[in-house]
């Protein structure tokens, strides 16, 4: 089921970078894919039902306050919970740290490019705006955190999972 996980992660990266939104259908596909991989015994090596469920619950519980405070979108929280089903609890901390560092770099790039507009198109793209500067209606939050979690997961998979 790893190809399905890779496809799901790629879809999350594309949607969140492009529209700053993780569609519910994509989250649902991730949950169903993770549950099927667990049910058929083709999940990631060493992952079992308890680890997957604890990982999902932990990801949801840790990120929910950020949503409640308006610092994160609901799609990011739901994506993280679905991601927890795919990878379990143990890798969530390194994935979250790397994803947060990528999001921090994104935020710093936006701040620098706003201050010194050397590359205005790049600043618009990083801010979730189109070429004429108009914000996309779904781009309420400029940092695509789910995309960075997905990229961090891809890195973790490349480093962790034997070929």
156 has a pLDDT exceeding 60: yes
Looking at residue 14, what is its pLDDT?
96
For residue 48 the two structure tokens come to: 């079992």
Does residue 161 have a pLDDT over 80?
no
Q: Are the CB atoms for 73 and 22 separated by under 8 Å?
A: yes
The domain spans of the chain are 2-160
What pLDDT does 40 receive? 96
Q: For the chain, what is the mean pLDDT?
A: 89
pLDDT per position as a tens digit, 54-69: 999 999 999 999 999 9
Give me the mean pLDDT over the 123-142 stretch: 62
CB 12 within 8 A of CB 29: no
pTM: 0.88
Q: Which residues pair with 135 in a beta bridge?
A: 129
- 56 contacts 81 by C-beta, under 8 angstroms: yes
pLDDT (0 to 100) of residue 162: 62
78-126 pLDDT, tens digit per residue, is 999 999 999 999 999 999 999 999 999 998 888 888 777 777 767 666 7
Can you spell out the DSSP letters for the chain? -HHHHHHHHHHHHHHHHHHS---HHHHHHHHHHHHHHHHTT-SSTT--HHHHHHHHHHHHHHHHHHHHTTSS-HHHHHHHHHHHHHH-STTHHHHHHHHHHHHHHHHHHHHHHHHS-SSHHHHHHHTTB-TTSPBPTT--SS--HHHHHHHHHHHHHHHHS--
């Amino acid at each position: 089921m790893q190809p399905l996980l890779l496809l799901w992660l790629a879809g999350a990266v594309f949607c969140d970078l492009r529209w700053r939104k993780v569609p519910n259908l994509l989250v649902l596909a991730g949950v169903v894919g993770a549950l099927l991989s667990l049910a058929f015994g083709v999940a990631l090596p060493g992952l079992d039902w308890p680890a997957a469920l604890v990982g999902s619950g932990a990801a949801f519980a840790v990120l929910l306050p950020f949503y409640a405070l308006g610092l994160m979108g609901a799609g990011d929280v739901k994506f993280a919970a679905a991601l927890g089903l795919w990878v379990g609890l143990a890798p969530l901390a390194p994935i979250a740290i790397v994803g947060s560092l990528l999001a921090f770099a994104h935020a710093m790039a936006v701040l620098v490019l706003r201050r010194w507009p050397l590359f205005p198109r790049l600043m618009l793209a990083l801010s979730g705006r189109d070429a004429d500067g108009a914000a996309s209606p779904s781009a309420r939050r400029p940092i695509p955190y789910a995309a960075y979690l997905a990229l961090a997961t891809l890195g973790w998979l490349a480093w962790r999972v034997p070929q």
